[in-house]
Structure 1
């Protein structure tokens, strides 16, 4: 694990042995893969020092050198801070993982919207005296619950975006679907595109984007003709799990948009687990998102059926 410290606006990283000989430019471009614009800004604004001094970005660094980055810079939240009690699953100086409740958007979809998870994050940061632009690394549908990852500064956002794209961030969902699933494990590889006949609906389409969903059967409920499955994504297309499971004849319970019956007031989908190496320390982060209490009887029934959450 890489040793790190924070000093006000500055973040200090002690160079590990296997980075010996790397340059500042190499670390930013090839280790963290920051975009050229971001690297240029950091260079022009003198946001990088080594052992407390300015250094040529192409000079080799040594094992145990202290690489210092000015990355904790105040900026506008980008959304209106708004109080909403939320469950924090993990937080440090760089990132934040929250357990999103039902009936809440991940981010505002129109000017002035305040009842989203991003607004709640902004309020939480503001209450701690942190003024950061709120950035969600991925999102969940309004009626999907569970773990959502946020970056707390631009460099963290850059690294986490790349990790998500390269499938280094592992997302595990539990879903309750109609029908009794016959296979223990399977992979759905079908491209997903927009449905030109419906503004929000997606569909399997030969001209769509590549989408890969892995699923594993956890439990069946023969009396209710339902199955509980675990899903992991190789891609993150809009409505991916909902579209794929409907396509193979097992729509999510409650998901009327994709053929599910309205036995719940929402689709039975929960982002139960999020796993990834920390973008700077390389420490393994593993967040399990418990099901939050919901008020109506249908949701209590859903929670009872979704109670088997994956441990691995």
Structure 2
């Protein structure tokens, strides 16, 4: 029907029970401004889809954070505002950096934004003399044996239509946004036809490591979504009809094809180096 001025449209969402998700968050580092967590694989960072409460953000908000006594006299007006400042895929484990105050959030978010901007300048051949404020290093187990000990992947990443993902799926795409990943071989496991690699990312595009490693012919071991070339394993994107079955948790239509939130791949945020948001140490 056609709505008239003053009409209200109310949507009663079908209730569902969120699937199980690991909830233990190990605190690796904490001070007045930030906290570094060890996120387990299977735990989503921000609310999305069927995960609304079983997320890192919800746990940060539920936890009773206390400012250290040393900071109380100097920072009486500081309000705690615990939020993640970057994302890890639901299936990715490891270091997740979170801000505890709004000031720290703004500062740390600017570090990540600068990293993405610098990656774009480097891709265009522009010299970037500014020292990086944050560096992130991951460990990944990939299929196949990498020939070279090191590689730099600069394949742009963009969005394509994909069933079951409303905003589209990120893939290797020539018209996408610049991205840069440095790959370094740590160990070649010839008997398993696998390679353990370290990846340093100079930009933070969604699923960047999964896409870049797949693009160079070495997808992550057991990655349910991306295959060689940095494209989804399911190719017939346009002719897919909507499935009428619903997930076991009720009310949520589960896509038949793999989606980005599916777990199983081997990727771990191993370590990071950064300038402290307030002390610059």
Query: What's the TM-score bracket when you normalise by the shorter of the two chains?
Result: 0.5 to 0.7
In 2, Cα distance between the equivalents of 1:184 and 1:166? 28
Shift of 1:114: 1.4
Q: Which residue of 1 aligns with 2:270?
A: 272
1:108–1:197 distance in 2 versus 1, CA, 3 Å? closer
1:252 counterpart = 2:220: yes
Q: TM-score, normalised by structure 1?
A: 0.59
Q: Is the 8 A contact 1:201 1:257 kept in 2?
A: no
Q: In the alignment, what sits opposite 2:197?
A: 229
Partner SS state of residue 174, structure 1: strand
Structure 1 residues 119 and 227: alpha-carbon distance in aligned structure 2, compared to 1, 3 A threshold: same
User: Can you give the 5+ residue segments of structure 1 that lack an aligned partner in the other structure?
Assistant: 1-82, 284-312
From 91, 111, 121, the counterpart of 2:30: 91
Q: Check if 1:140 corresponds to 2:105.
A: no
> When the two structures are aligned, how many residues end up with a matched partner?
199
Question: Taking CA–CA contacts closer than 8 Å with sequence separation of 6 or more, which of the two structures ends up with the larger relative contact order?
Answer: 2
2:145/2:194 contact within 8 Å kept: yes
Aligned-residue RMSD, C-alpha:
2.6
2:104 paired residue number: 156
Cα deviation digits, residues 37-96 of structure 1 (max 9, x gap)? xxxxxxxxxxxxxxxxxxxxxxxxxxxxxxxxxxxxxxxxxxxxxx94310011111111
Distance 1:252 1:128, change over 3 A: same
Could you say which structure has the higher helix fraction? 1
Q: Tell me if 1:107 matches 2:55.
A: no
Structure 2, unaligned runs of 5 or more = 1-21, 68-77, 116-132, 234-262
Aligned to 2:160: 195
CA contact (8 A) 2:99 2:105 kept: yes
| Residue number in structure 1 paired with 2:61 | 122
TM-score, normalising length from structure 2? 0.65
